[in-house]
Amino acid sequence: MENWKGWLENWYEEQVEVRHRLHRNPELPYEERETTRFLKEQLTAWGIQVEELPGLETGVSAVIEGAHPGPMLVLREDIDALPILENTGLDFASQRSGVCHACGHDVHTAALLYAARALNALRGELHGSVKLIFQCAEEVGSGAYKMLEAGALRDCQPQAVVGFHCAPLLELGKIGVRRGPSNASFDIFTWTITGRGGHGAYPQRCVDPVVVSAHLITQLQTVVSRFNNPTHPAVLTVGEIHGGTAPNIIPDQVTMRGAMRAFDEGLRQEMLKQIGQITRDCCAALGAKGEVTRDVGIPSIISDPEIADGVARAVEESLGQEHLHWVPEPSMGSDDFSVWMEACGGRGVQFQVGTHDPACPNSGLGIHVAENIFPDEALRYAAPVLVQFAVDYLGK
Ligand SMILES: [Zn+2]
Ligand SMILES: [Zn+2]
């Protein structure tokens, strides 16, 4: 195998420049046009085949065909930014007011781009192919589905998917890997409770959706406490409630929004059913009409143990054993990386790249925090693990 680690070393400054460029020009979900254009240009310039995704303006799918037959591995990262006003004081801070890369997706994108460059130069030695997915709109939970609908995996059956996420709670230089349940599923709901409005003095002529929604919120607490198996974590939160205009008027309608997170797919489906039933029946019992729609739904990430062991080996080979960190606990946070896993028969791992530099306290604040800094040095650890895993997976 050629000295790809040396190549990545040589490209490091360039990779940092790319990361800064992306960071200065963050783009919201489904608006990642500049990023998409830049990635397509760069990949094409290196001779990597970019695929057309009809009907999808943002996000990039590309493929590196190895010289020898073999399985297909998907490497997936995300490219979108968040509606947050950056407050890092970095000299490469966002130049778009109110939008910034507070989830580290600029680091993800730059790392995958240079991993792709190395793998393309190694294609003569690869047995199989690498599908590169630069996914749009991760933050709104629908980008992965949109790219699949547009045909990102059309005419191919990939065997596994690997990617990473920056981890501000993990020390810089560490790579976090986990087997089994890793990230929760995520379902967002909108409830509409329709009653019959009127004067607050004459409730007998009305159906009060405020009172009904209060009952509904209380009933919804039983979804996790009574319908979930308590040995499997789950949480349902109603985070918004809107209704009414005056203290003496009973409104016609109340709307609410909330989200559920869980790990076990069977229990998730059971609880989804229960949310529908409680909404209908609880509201009906009080004379109102209750409707619930699911706006977004992505499954949990259950890391495949074999792939996890493969990633751990890749960490040891490419960086050294001291860089490997077995993540002790799952997270209730979610990522639509899970959708790609589902498309690969569950065979996937999203590892963590530590970004907490003890010398820079603001690097440990957390994702989605306006002040959090993701150090450039994370790029020294991310791309090598991606390349090493791919090289091992597509070895003979
Ligand atoms: Zn995020
Ligand atoms: Zn993210």
Same domain, yes or no: 168 and 192? no
Residue 318's alpha-carbon distances to 3, 120, 175, 323, 380, in angstroms, are 12, 18, 11, 10, 11
Same domain, yes or no: 210 and 324? no
Distance 335 CA to ligand 2 centre (A): 7
Same domain, yes or no: 10 and 56? yes
In this predicted structure, what is the pLDDT of residue 171?
A: 98
Give the separation between CA 7 and CA 340, rounded to whole angstroms. 29
Distance 149 CA to ligand 1 centre (A): 22
What confidence tens digit (pLDDT) does each residue in 161-182 have?
Answer: 999 999 999 999 999 999 999 9
Same domain, yes or no: 60 and 32? yes
Distance 366 CA to ligand 2 centre (A): 11
Same domain, yes or no: 170 and 24? yes
**Side chain identity at residue 364, one-letter code:** G
Distance 80 CA to ligand 1 centre (A): 9
Distance 82 CA to ligand 1 centre (A): 7
Distance 142 CA to ligand 2 centre (A): 13
Give, in degrees to the nearest 5, the angle at Cα 79 between 187 and 185. Answer: 20
From the CA of 108, the nearest ligand is 2
Distance 47 CA to ligand 1 centre (A): 31
Same domain, yes or no: 122 and 202? no
Last residue of a domain, one of 247, 273, 298: 298
In this predicted structure, what is the pLDDT of residue 332?
A: 95
In this predicted structure, what is the pLDDT of residue 75?
A: 98
CA R_g for the chain: 23
Distance 214 CA to ligand 2 centre (A): 34
Distance 207 CA to ligand 2 centre (A): 43
In this predicted structure, what is the pLDDT of residue 163?
A: 98
Q: Please answer whether residues 203 and 178 qualify as being in contact, where contact means their C-beta atoms are separated by less than 8 angstroms.
A: no
Distance 368 CA to ligand 1 centre (A): 6
Same domain, yes or no: 52 and 147? yes
Q: What is the CATH number of the domain that holds 214?
A: 3.30.70.360
In this predicted structure, what is the pLDDT of residue 307?
A: 98
Residues 6+ apart with CB under 8 A from 50: 40, 43, 44, 60, 61, 62
Q: Which two tokens stand for residue 289?
A: 């009409």
Q: Please answer whether residues 107 and 379 qualify as being in contact, where contact means their C-beta atoms are separated by less than 8 angstroms.
A: yes
SS3 label, residue 151: coil
Residue stretches of the chain with pLDDT short of 70 = none
Last residue of a domain, one of 298, 325, 343: 298
From the CA of 164, the nearest ligand is 2
From the CA of 84, the nearest ligand is 1
In this predicted structure, what is the pLDDT of residue 238?
A: 97
Give the separation between CA 30 and CA 140, rounded to whole angstroms. 9
Same domain, yes or no: 293 and 319? no
Same domain, yes or no: 42 and 168? yes
Give the separation between CA 364 and CA 169, rounded to whole angstroms. 6
Q: Please answer whether residues 183 and 350 qualify as being in contact, where contact means their C-beta atoms are separated by less than 8 angstroms.
A: yes
Distance 165 CA to ligand 2 centre (A): 6
Distance 193 CA to ligand 2 centre (A): 33
Give the separation between CA 225 and CA 131, rounded to whole angstroms. 42
Distance 201 CA to ligand 2 centre (A): 50
Distance 200 CA to ligand 2 centre (A): 46
Last residue of a domain, one of 298, 320, 335: 298
- Domain total in the chain: 2
Distance 140 CA to ligand 1 centre (A): 9
Same domain, yes or no: 22 and 63? yes
Nearest residue to 252 (alpha-carbon basis) of 193, 189, 204: 193
Distance 26 CA to ligand 1 centre (A): 13
Distance 86 CA to ligand 1 centre (A): 14
Q: Which two tokens stand for residue 8?
A: 């990545």
Tell how far CA 252 is from the center of its chain.
37
SS3 label, residue 155: coil
Distance 242 CA to ligand 2 centre (A): 29
Same domain, yes or no: 233 and 262? yes
In this predicted structure, what is the pLDDT of residue 2?
A: 80
In this predicted structure, what is the pLDDT of residue 396?
A: 76
Q: Please answer whether residues 60 and 39 qualify as being in contact, where contact means their C-beta atoms are separated by less than 8 angstroms.
A: yes
Distance 334 CA to ligand 1 centre (A): 9
Distance 141 CA to ligand 1 centre (A): 10
Distance 367 CA to ligand 1 centre (A): 6
Distance 184 CA to ligand 2 centre (A): 14
Kindly compute the dihedral angle of the four CA atoms of residues 69, 117, 317, 20, in this order, to the nearest 10 degrees. Answer: -150
From the CA of 368, the nearest ligand is 1
Residues 6+ apart with CB under 8 A from 117: 7, 11, 46, 48
Backbone angles phi, psi at 172, to 5 degrees: -55, 135
Give the separation between CA 114 and CA 22, rounded to whole angstroms. 14
Q: Please answer whether residues 63 and 51 qualify as being in contact, where contact means their C-beta atoms are separated by less than 8 angstroms.
A: yes
Q: Please answer whether residues 75 and 115 qualify as being in contact, where contact means their C-beta atoms are separated by less than 8 angstroms.
A: yes
**Side chain identity at residue 154, one-letter code:** R
Same domain, yes or no: 16 and 72? yes
**Side chain identity at residue 210, one-letter code:** V
Residue 206's alpha-carbon distances to 195, 284, 387, in angstroms, are 7, 14, 65
Q: What is the CATH number of the domain that holds 333?
A: 3.40.630.10
Distance 204 CA to ligand 1 centre (A): 47
Distance 159 CA to ligand 1 centre (A): 26
Give the separation between CA 324 and CA 353, rounded to whole angstroms. 10
**Side chain identity at residue 198, one-letter code:** G
Distance 22 CA to ligand 2 centre (A): 15
Total residues belonging to the chain: 396
What confidence tens digit (pLDDT) does each residue in 280-327 have?
Answer: 999 999 999 999 999 999 999 999 999 999 999 999 999 999 999 999
Distance 115 CA to ligand 2 centre (A): 19
> Residue 244 sits in which domain range?
186-298
Nearest residue to 299 (alpha-carbon basis) of 338, 351, 337, 346: 338
Q: Which two tokens stand for residue 322?
A: 């001291």
Q: Please answer whether residues 290 and 213 qualify as being in contact, where contact means their C-beta atoms are separated by less than 8 angstroms.
A: no
